[in-house]
Amino acid sequence: MRSVSRGLAALGVLLVAGGFYLTADVYDVVPGVFTLDRALSHSATPILPSVTPTASPSRTVTAVPIPSVAGSVAAPLLTVAETAPIPTKAGLAAALARALADAGLGSSVGLTVRDAHTGAHLLDVSAQVPRTPASTVKLLTATAIVTTLDPALTFSTRVVLGATAGQVTDVILVAGGDTLLSPGKGNPLAVAGRAGLVDLADQTSQTLKAQGITSVRLRIDERYASGPRFAPGWLRADISQGLTGPVAMLGLSTLQPRPGTSAFTDPALSTAQDFRTALAARGVTVAPAIGWEASPKGARELGVVRSAPLSDVLALALATSDNALTESLARQAATKAGRPTSFTAVAAWVKEKVAAKGVHIEGVTLIDSSGLSGGALITARALGDVLALAAGGKDPALQQIVAQLPVAGLSGTLADRFLSGSAHSAAGVVRAKTGTLTGASALAGTVVDRDGRLLVFAILADRIPAGVGTLTARAALDRFVATLASCGCG
């Protein structure tokens, strides 16, 4: 009976997740996705800083949501029985001993396994020892974001009327937090490219012509949530190799970082240049030079386009482990909270926010909000705390975090994992956030075990021998989680 239930559950994942998978494929997220974590090299030169759950009245089932095409909560991944046996510590320890001893994990492993429904600690191995988390930092950051900003929030990109000098009027492109603008028309079904510059140019040109204005100068207002573009701990190679781009509040979806392509760009200026071209194509004479100008208070709006909801944008950031996008969202949330916008200040705010939710932060050190900077430390316990809060079903905003994690073998940074060998048995029943730096690899998320019990796990290995390599370490992590999934350890 258990194998039939697991088979139906996996089929449900394939059917429901298909829409998300197709959307991700359009943006080259899957298959064969590259994680935007980097290989850490201490000799490199740093750059200069410039769901609501559903439950029966008897509380016997919990629905585990999966992202829809847009990344928001749609249908349950699978229904897990709250009355299913809870694994025992002895049972888990015996079942996982061999997987934990895998040479691919190296000599320093931290682990926590929790029951998602009760939050009970089932197995902890050095869970309070701080370790290199890499991009699993984003789980803490996502928690801070969704508990500060409305998941339905959209980010507006506006054009307003500026001053007039002689026969030339200034029009000001106002940044509002959307770095996923389409250079063409917007796509209402997309996350990246929901809002389009062509649509904004259509509105602006029509309004200008209605006022008899045919000649303008284009200006940019980047005051919203402004801050440094690059973290002090990011390396030049991170940018030149496309592992991250600059943090901005205005940018194009077509300029998102891609591995192997330099991301040394000015997102706002590139966006303004494309907007200038679109205006000119609509009969508006635009001066060649683009400048920066604060928009006047109460300035007349000439046009506006809006991004996908925050929940969808955050889903994309988590699925692709997009460092700059995560930092941008964190900075906007910190701004909403009245905090400074430097990388260290935002990271400190993230730590404070998760601590306020009850996350055990002893030993936690955050350098940035994405995990790309070296020197960050997180315990398996802290990651387990975050995931237990998110998977417990008591806070719909936090539950979004679990809903937005990549699904093993299907989406995001797990699209090309859990596809072969013993790990394949866990494809579709694991959702997790990845983390990778040289010598360190991590995986943290949820899994349904053989008995149908939803479990939370976090495993960090940060002393992986140089001769082992990232792929071997990832495979060892995948085998560990697959062992956990196959465990009927109640």
- Residues recognised as catalytic: 135, 138, 321
Copy the structure tokens of residue 324. Answer: 């700059």
Compute the half-sphere exposure of residue 291: CA atoms within 13 Å on the CB side of its CA: 10
Copy the structure tokens of residue 460. Answer: 């960090």
Q: What ranges in 194-260 are assigned the alpha helix state H?
A: 197-210, 236-240
Quick check: helix, strand or coil at residue 446?
strand
- Contacts within 8 Å (CB) and 24+ apart, 81-85: 81/452, 81/453, 82/117, 84/451, 84/452, 84/453, 84/490, 85/451, 85/453, 85/488, 85/490
State the DSSP string of 131-183: B--GGGHHHHHHHHHHTTS-TT---EEEEEEEEEETTEEEEEEE--SEEEEBS
Q: Please say whether the dihedral angle defined by the alpha carbons of residues 467, 471, 475 and 481, taken in this order, is positive or negative.
A: positive
Residue 174 burial (CB < 10 Å; 0-12/13-18/19+)? buried
Side-by-side strand order, sheet with 430-437: 121-125, 109-115, 454-461, 440-448, 430-437
Q: What are the b/e assignments for 360-369, b being 16+ CB within 10 Å?
A: bbeebebbbb
- Rounded to the nearest 10 degrees, the angle between the axes of helix 137-146 and helix 396-403 is 140
| Structural contact between residues 24 and 415, judged by C-beta atoms closer than 8 angstroms | yes
Q: Strand pairing of 285-292 and 215-221? A: parallel
